[in-house]
Amino acid sequence: MYSTTLFLVPVLVSYTLARQVNITVDASKILGDLPPVARFFGTDEPNYATYPDGPHQTYFRMHNLLTTCDPLNDTSPHRLKWGCTNAYTEDVNGQPIYNFTIIDTIFDAYLENGVKPYVQTGFMPKALSSHPDPYSFDFNGTSDVNNIFTGWSNPPTSFQKRGELIYQWAKHCLERYREAEVESWYWEVWNEPNIAYWNGTQEQYFTLYDHAVNGVLRALPSVTVGGPEVAGGASRDWLSLFLDHTLNGQNDATGDKGAPLDFISFHAKGSPTFINATDSVPGHLQMNMASALQNVNDVFFVIQSFKTLNHLPVFIGEDDPDSCAACLSANVDYRNGLIYPSYTAAAFTRELDLAGNYSINLTGALTWAFEFDDHPYFDGFRVLATNQIDKPILNIFRMFGKMQTKRLEAQSTGQYDLDSVVSSSVRGDSDVGILASISDEGNKMAMLVWNYHDDALPKPDAQIFFTISNGFMGHQVVNLTHYRIDQSHSNAYSTWLALGLPQDPTPKQLADLKAAGMLQMLHSPTQMKLEDGMAVIQFDLPIHAVSLLVVEQ
């Protein structure tokens, strides 16, 4: 049921299982800027950027840009959790050979599609690794992830040589892409140096950071550098010690006190699990947003304590419902359908709320998901698209892309308070939440509404009574566009299931799947009457569905 009315009207259908939720948005109460945090993505496998379904209009972070192909002539990207570029090798006399050809093709693909690199100077070229063998590995969705930490994860034989590599690479980028472009990128040093991605000590990472950052800044002093992309939030005192090093430590590359730091980055991950069946509840997947939000809360607490750093941009450099994009198990069987986008809407909003509480400059929340072509359709990996068919998760980012620049005050009687979600996730009634925004000019509003629960189980619809007040004063009519992600809208996965799970779809089926993967409207755009800046919109929102209401003059 859907209606747009000035005042509430009697409900015309039965809502035996529906739960009434009242949402109010006051267009006159601006909370502040709404940063476009959702426009950041990343992947282990950088070479996929050159595929037809590469990234568009965002920032993109990638592993393995300095990893050596093993063997050298195997530059194929068709391997999970692997990529390689041969950027650095050595001749028989141990002299460096720099070759940025493959990296150029990757960055060219990004820039041709309006994407800016979020550059990671990882990992260790084989010729520089202190323990190079074994170097490469094979991984499938059920492999032990610890098997990937081979020679590329070890410290270098010479931090100076590696610093010179970073300098030569940054100088090459400056020559190829020009100063104004490279200045708009973010540069960071390594991935998750507090766990096995870095098989050195913390002090050795500080040395790595000093030389890498110095190399970049030697090429272009105005470039933006940061880190440390630490795993597990603050990781006890790991982040604090890193921040202290940038302020007070001795810089191994320059001999000066401290090290440049223009942004702070860390990772936050949820922890889903599979709940075995009982007499009363079937076996099912259960998400856990609280573990990710606790990571965020812990880091914001640490950053707040550094008074000379707490103004810096902060990136959640990997912000995901689970910890391994290329792993498959019953614990992560959420990635094809509706749980993923509704989780993301609810989690990103809470991260913005936490940032507000701590006065943190949250600039990006990066989704570690991309695409693997030449894999089975809807294979269950954490990806945005499957063989160029967009998954429902991609449409939540299309919705985020339609949000406006200022955040508005909004309340929902069905929304969990922040402390409850941080401590316990969403385990009682569903979380029916709202993120509302308005343009700088005040002539366009965009409001995101979700119905989320941790359990992958049937739950009641939410019957939404949505009130806008103090909006578009002086206007009697505005335009309403209602976008929806649910079982029958913006959902190529449900279409694929209805087609019988085809792994060799016909041209007609492919066309239908591509169309179903696009962001769709719940109904045709309509006009909505206002009286003294007030209107009420009524609609039903199924469990794990997301609506975006765009109201404009």
Catalytic residue among 45, 188, 192, 318: 192
Answer for the pair 405, 439: CB distance below 8 angstroms, yes or no. Answer: yes
Q: The tokens 């093993």 sit on which residue?
A: 70
Angle at 411 between CA 409 and CA 414, to 5 degrees: 155
Q: Report the alpha-carbon distance of residue 331 to residue 12 in Å, rounded.
A: 40
Q: Report the alpha-carbon distance of residue 170 to residue 7 in Å, rounded.
A: 60
Burial 478-499 (b: 16+ CB within 10 A, else e): bebbbbbbbbebbbbbbbbeee
Structure tokens at 6: 């000035």
- Whole-angstrom CA distances from 502 to 116, 358, 381 are 35, 49, 17
Question: How many CB atoms neighbour CB 112 within 10 A?
Answer: 12
Question: What does the DSSP assignment read for 73-86?
Answer: T-----STT-----
Answer for the pair 229, 190: CB distance below 8 angstroms, yes or no. Answer: yes
Q: Report the alpha-carbon distance of residue 258 to residue 250 in Å, rounded.
A: 6
Whole-angstrom Cα Rg for the chain: 24
Closest to 484 in 3D by CA, of 553, 421, 537? 537
Strand partners, 245: none
End-to-end CA distance of the chain: 25
Q: The tokens 């003059």 sit on which residue?
A: 553
Answer for the pair 484, 519: CB distance below 8 angstroms, yes or no. Answer: no
Phi, psi of 308 (to 5 degrees): -90, -5
Residue 188 a catalytic site member: no
Q: Report the alpha-carbon distance of residue 178 to residue 184 in Å, rounded.
A: 11
Q: Which residues are catalytic?
A: 192
